[in-house]
Amino acid sequence: MDTFLGFPKDTTIIVTGAASGIGEALAKLAARQGLAVAAWDLTEDGARATAEAIAGEGGTARAYGLDVSDRSQVEAAMAQTCADLGPVHCLAAVAGPPSFKIADFDEGLSQSISCMRMPTEAWIASGPAGVASAVYLSSVQGPRYGAGVQWYSVAKSAIDGYMRSVAGMRQGGLRANAVLPDWIVTPRTSEFVEATGGTEWDVNPMGRVGLPEDVANAAMFLLSPAAAYLNGLSIEVDGGARLRSLAWMRMAEASGSAA
């Protein structure tokens, strides 16, 4: 059987934010690819539910409840993860504060970066080997749109920069990339999606809002040996929404050329 992604046997991954949405989808996908999954989440019950679902499909997973922006909690969880599952080969840093959170600018920015930085530093200190790849969840909100809640847009741009600093830090040592979703239907966004017309989205050439699995698939590829020469990239997962800006939509409507 051709295993295109090429993950070696006994590969282990940490997925933060694994209780729901993109993190849950990625954790389950990783398990289906044969990886042992450490499901990290602020909500331990949610992480446990993900781990139990993986086990129910014959996969290997352990659940850990922690705040991934807290250094002491992250270091303790990393030590326990390594004791339970062995060396950690891959890191998927998905967890972060919600975009709609009302927060002080400095607080929101600091928490967002810490959710990426703390797991990364603990992972690197643990001595990742083998695949040694990381993927970070950014967003088109900062690098492309620069709109919405100000602290969130700035934070997502900063996550891209942090990813690139990790990608270039150790020659031959590890890879790091980022996925930048546009609107994705998750428990956090479902209310907004419904309030703005549902999952069909005219501005997108695909005609729909994205699914967690769309992001998980891209992230899984970037983590895999199949992407061994991809490093420091920011991959937009948006169905081509960037091709149809608001200005384009208004011009198409005015001219009658909208499809």
* Catalytic site positions: 152
Task: Report yes or no: 179 and 138 within 8 Å, Cβ to Cβ.
Answer: yes
Taking the CB of residue 210, how many other CB atoms lie within 10 A of it? 23
Query: What is the C-alpha separation between 178 and 222, in angstroms, rounded?
Result: 8
Query: What is the C-alpha separation between 22 and 35, in angstroms, rounded?
Result: 17
Query: What is the C-alpha separation between 11 and 30, in angstroms, rounded?
Result: 10
Angle at 11 between CA 10 and CA 15, to 5 degrees: 135
Q: Is 108 helix (H, G, I), strand (E, B) or coil?
A: helix
Query: What is the C-alpha separation between 84 and 211, in angstroms, rounded?
Result: 31
Q: Would you state the structure tokens that stand for residue 41, as one six-digit string?
A: 């989440």
Query: What is the C-alpha separation between 11 and 67, in angstroms, rounded?
Result: 24
- The runs of H, that is alpha helices, within 168-197 are 190-195
Q: Would you state the structure tokens that stand for residue 90, as one six-digit string?
A: 């891959």
Q: Is 141 helix (H, G, I), strand (E, B) or coil?
A: helix
Residue of 144, 135, 100, 134 whose CA lies nearest to 240: 144
Query: What is the C-alpha separation between 184 and 138, in angstroms, rounded?
Result: 13
